[in-house]
Amino acid sequence: MRVAIVGGPGIGKSTLVRQLGDLYHHGAYGEGEEGVWDPRVLEDIAAGRNPVGVTAYFGELYDANYRDAALHDGPDRVIFFEGARITLEAHIAEYPAACHDRLRDVLVIGDHWQPDRVIVLTSSTDTVEKHIRLRNRPSERVEQMVERFRLIDAEFRRLAPQYPNTVVIDRDHKEFHHRDGLLAIITAAGLPPFREVPYRVMERYLPDRRGEPL
């Protein structure tokens, strides 16, 4: 099962992808951050330059993740991705209308991804501003990021009904570092149960015949 987690900047996608990947003991594919991306990407995003190149760059990053995950997917697995085709489409709104048709051409990169579930995270701008301030990245100006969030969040909400297997979840009052927050997302998205690693009180560890703890 492939689950994509998407949403506006600062919403907590990366954290949720990592936490759920760890909870399910299966793969998690983030989109990376400044140290992973080509250094020119952030400069062009900030300046509003090269919209087709920026969109294609992230599309190809996601495509590499989906292609790698295809080698590990199976009926008993839940694999998490940060990013989906809807992500590329939602970010078109950041650029002038004159280049929207050329940007829509880039969406073909994501035609074959087809996740089994897409979780669109949304929230109030207060929650996003809090998380942006907490992560304190030198490359981000809080006011600018909040304005980007408002624009892109509106696009995600608008587009979500057009994408199959997509659910919009309000992340307000849900902390992804806490079990309750993760369980709330799992329930709202209708994800299968995860296998809990048992915790026991024991005085001595003795493996049984199968090599498993007694």
The whole-number pLDDT of residue 148 equals 83
Which CATH number applies to 2-189?
Answer: 3.40.50.300
Residue ranges per structural domain of the chain: 2-189
Give CA–CA dist 212/214, Å, rounded: 6
Query: How far is residue 93 from each of residues 100, 103, 191, measured CA to CA in Å?
Result: 8, 10, 30
pLDDT tens, residue order, the chain (214 aa):
999 999 998 888 999 999 999 999 999 999 988 788 998 998 998 888 999 999 999 999 999 999 999 999 988 899 999 999 999 999 999 999 999 999 999 999 999 999 999 999 998 766 666 666 666 566 556 677 778 888 899 999 999 999 999 999 999 889 899 999 999 999 999 999 999 998 889 898 887 655 555 4
Q: What are phi and psi of 91, to 5 degrees?
A: -75, -10
Give CA–CA dist 194/186, Å, rounded: 9
What is the rounded radius of gyration, in angstroms, for the C-alpha atoms of the chain?
A: 19
| CB-side neighbour CA atoms (13 Å) of 164 | 5
DSSP 77-124: --EEEE--HHHHHHGGGGS-GGGHHHHHHHGGGGTTT--SEEEEEE--
The whole-number pLDDT of residue 214 equals 47
Give CA–CA dist 43/38, Å, rounded: 10
The whole-number pLDDT of residue 149 equals 83
Give CA–CA dist 57/37, Å, rounded: 9
Cβ atoms of residues 2 and 115 within 8 Å:
yes
| H or E stretch covering 144 | helix 142-159
